Amino acid sequence: MSAEKAIEAIQLTKRFGDFTAVNQVSFEIPRGEIFGLLGPNGAGKTTTIRMLCGILEPTAGEARVMGYDVAKHAEEVKQRIGYMSQKFSLYDDLTVYENLGFYANLYGVPREKLKPRLAELIAMAGLRGHEKQLTRDLSGAWRQRLALACAIVHEPPMLFLDEPTAGVDPVSRREFWEMIYQLAGQGVSVLATTHYMDEAEFCNVIGMMYRSRLIALSDPDSLREGVIGVLFEVDCQEPGRAELVLKDLPLVQDVAAHGVLLHVQVASEKQRAELEQTLQSNGIVVERIERILPSLEDIFVSLVDHENRQHKRADKD
Amino acid sequence: MRQGFRRMATIVRKEWLHIIRDPRTLALVIVFPVMMLVLLGYAVANDVEDIPLAVADLSKTDASRLLVDKLTVSGFFMVTHSAQSEDQILEMLDAGTIKAGLYIPEGFGREVTTGGTGVVQFYIDGSNPTIAQTAQLAVETVSQSTSQEILVQRLERSGAGMTIHLPVDARVRYLYNPNLRKMNFLIPGLVAVILQVQTLLLTAFAIVREREQGTLEQLIVTPVRSWELMLGKILPYILVAFINVAMTVAVGAIWFGVEIAGSIALLAALSLIFLLGSLGLGVLISNVSRTQMQAMYMASFIMMPSFLLAGLLYPRENMPWVAYYAGYLLPVTYFLEIVRGIILKGAGFFTLWNWIWPMAVFSVVVFFASVFMFRKRL
Ligand SMILES: Nc1ncnc2c1ncn2[C@@H]1O[C@H](COP(=O)(O)OP(=O)(O)OP(=O)(O)O)[C@@H](O)[C@H]1O
Ligand SMILES: [Mg+2]
């Protein structure tokens, strides 16, 4: 059963003293998927990745990566994963080629395949002509691509990327994700963390972490449809007054102005008519009411609200 | 196994690139020990001789001239000034133009020739205890031997032609360091201590730097094993440390004239054993340090006692017993005896065995402990 899974985490927990950085996180990722782990600073994303890579020992719970237990078979796991750490840790005083060669030799890439493999990676990372350049002189985006090349030098079937696009311009970010897509197309499973919600759109599966817990796990479309009720975009005259009217309505969960349009959140599709009636009975001309999909950012914020409310309730009890 | 060797060689190559890509640090690493040797060599080992002396000889007799002659001939004093009174001597001492003064009163010669005791006053600047002690010792010795000579002359004159011999004559001959030069005592010790400092700092920094940069985390996820990583990191520094040994010993011999009496091969082999343990200590330090700053402080916990307790400056035999036994806990103590033994006495392997085996045990234990404790986890 585990053969088809790239990652299985069961109640994975890490404590540093009294502080719990990762709290009973469980999930399963099928092979060949791109899994995006989202969450604010300090949510526990890096700590989760470090446990999965065998850098940190879990305090409790267990995890299997490519079918191998990370605590018991760390060496097996290491042969099968590539890891790009949060800081693009490269040797600044080594050249592009030396950095790549260093990891290729450590991973035991066969000597006869070494040259073609490095040439291939340099082409992929768009670093041709810069082989002899010292890494410290590379720009952010190039460092990032070199770090990726180093991480996949041994053609691992599983790739961990910890904030791979931090501090990189939008165009290079997009190019980077194209590379990740290509790898995924070759059957590589990917786990990537990010702060950028728009990048989550590149993922097949999304996990949201908040305060050391995994608070959502789903594909982006189900997240959009299932998690918060229904979102309507309302185009009407006098949007200012309309906002006030709708705010007082019990069936409305949330109203937000987006330019001249209003985003209104309600529990179900059926309440569209009620919205329209209420506005018209208040003398507001409605041009159009249309159901829209919430952005992942909307979802994340509402999930966090929900989580915080539960926390408060729990504290009161 | 072959893969393991390849990984280790990869680490060695990378570490070597770090070393040569940073020529400024490399220059420091190579030059620093020699600089320390020269500096400390001059600072600590200036043997006390030619202490500037002012003489106020109011007696102006054969006896007084004999005393002054004997003081200068001893080599410890050099008469740089002559004075007319005690006050003048005191003024010069105050001004620091002399370190010692001799006042011979008018009646000195008469007292001596008539069989009495001639009293002279000797002043010593006590602000530098080393100079003061040397001066005191020298004056006592010289005045005793002068007294003897005068006594013998007196007896011979009264005893009408018979020759007098002193009943006891103890002759002392110093072995190994015939001129009792402190330099000879110090230089071999410095070689040992400098090595300790170098290796400790270099390895600790080399590993902690990777932790700081985050590259250690990247290394941990590769299949490289702890001992491969450790050896790979240490080997280049063994070479650097060896260059250091060679240069300090050479400077000691050429500049300070402390030649190697024993076998250079033995010295090299035993240095290697010492280095292994010392580098291992560096790794242990890097295990418990998160930053290079912390590593620096940790290292000084080992370095300071090395300077004080190992017997570099003062013979351990004169230390209070706590310090004396604490010295046995430091590997550099053993190595220091070994280096002194080889350089000064030309001692061989078996003579030094009592110092070699504890050092070897220490090195092996520390080295393997450091490999095991070198956690590949963060
Ligand atoms: N070695 C450690 N010792 C103590 N606390 C730690 C350690 N490593 C991480 N933490 C704490 O655990 C929490 C989670 O850290 P983690 O790095 O996993 O968060 P993250 O989600 O990756 O955040 P970011 O987006 O900032 O990278 C943080 O509060 C952090 O301070
Ligand atoms: Mg992180």
**Contact yes or no for A89 and B218 at CB 8 A:** yes
List the strands of the sheet with B100-104, edge to edge. Answer: B77-82, B51-57, B100-104, B121-124
Which residues does chain B have within 8 Å of residue A85's beta carbon, measured at their own beta carbons?
Answer: 214, 217-218
Run of H or E residues at A300: helix A296-316
Taking CA atoms, A295 is separated from A40, A201, A227, A235, B230, in Å, by: 17, 10, 11, 19, 50
A-chain residue closest to B215, CA distance: A89
Residue in B215, B218, B378 closest to A56 by CB: B378
**Beta-carbon neighbour count of residue B97 at 10 Å?**
12
Architecture field, domain A228-293: 2-Layer Sandwich (3.30)
User: For residue range A62-85, what is the model confidence (pLDDT) as tens digits?
Assistant: 999 999 999 889 888 999 999 998
User: For residue range B283-332, what is the model confidence (pLDDT) as tens digits?
Assistant: 888 888 888 888 888 888 888 888 778 777 777 777 888 888 888 888 88
Can you list the alpha helix ranges (DSSP code H) found in chain B? 2-21, 23-45, 62-73, 86-95, 108-113, 129-158, 182-213, 215-220, 226-254, 264-288, 292-309, 321-327, 331-340, 353-373
User: For residue range A162-172, what is the model confidence (pLDDT) as tens digits?
Assistant: 999 888 888 99
User: For residue range A255-295, what is the model confidence (pLDDT) as tens digits?
Assistant: 888 888 888 888 888 888 888 888 888 888 888 888 888 77
For residue A52, which ligand has an atom nearest its CA?
1
Collect the ranges in chain B with pLDDT lower than 70: 44-48, 159-162, 164, 170-182, 375-378
Residue A63 phi/psi, 5-degree rounding, is -150, 145
Which residues does chain A have within 8 Å of residue B224's beta carbon, measured at their own beta carbons?
Answer: 106
Q: Where are the domains of chain B?
A: 51-175, 182-373
What's the CATH number for A5-224? 3.40.50.300
Residue A206 forms beta bridges with which residues? Answer: A36, A218
Can you list the alpha helix ranges (DSSP code H) found in A135-290? 140-151, 170-185, 220-222, 239-247, 272-281
Task: Please report which confidence band the pLDDT of residue A1 belongs to, taking 50, 70 and 90 as the band edges.
Answer: very low
The C-alpha atoms of residue A136 and residue A115 are separated, in whole angstroms, by: 23
What tokens does B347 get? 């001692």
The C-alpha atoms of residue B104 and residue B58 are separated, in whole angstroms, by: 6
What tokens does B67 get? 């005393």
b/e per residue, A36-67, with b = 16+ CB within 10 A? bbbbeeebbbbbbbbbbbbbbebeebbbbbbb
**Contact yes or no for B378 and A107 at CB 8 A:** no
The C-alpha atoms of residue A174 and residue A196 are separated, in whole angstroms, by: 12
User: For residue range B139-173, what is the model confidence (pLDDT) as tens digits?
Assistant: 888 888 888 888 887 777 776 666 767 777 766 66
pLDDT at residue number A212: 92
Q: Where are the domains of chain A?
A: 5-224, 228-293
pLDDT at residue number A2: 47
Asked if pLDDT for residue A227 goes beyond 70, the answer is no
* Largest pairwise CA distance in chain A: 79
Can you list the alpha helix ranges (DSSP code H) found in A20-95? 45-52, 74-80
CATH number belonging to the domain at B51-175, selected among 3.30.70.1450, 3.30.450.40, 3.40.1710.10, 3.10.20.600: 3.40.1710.10
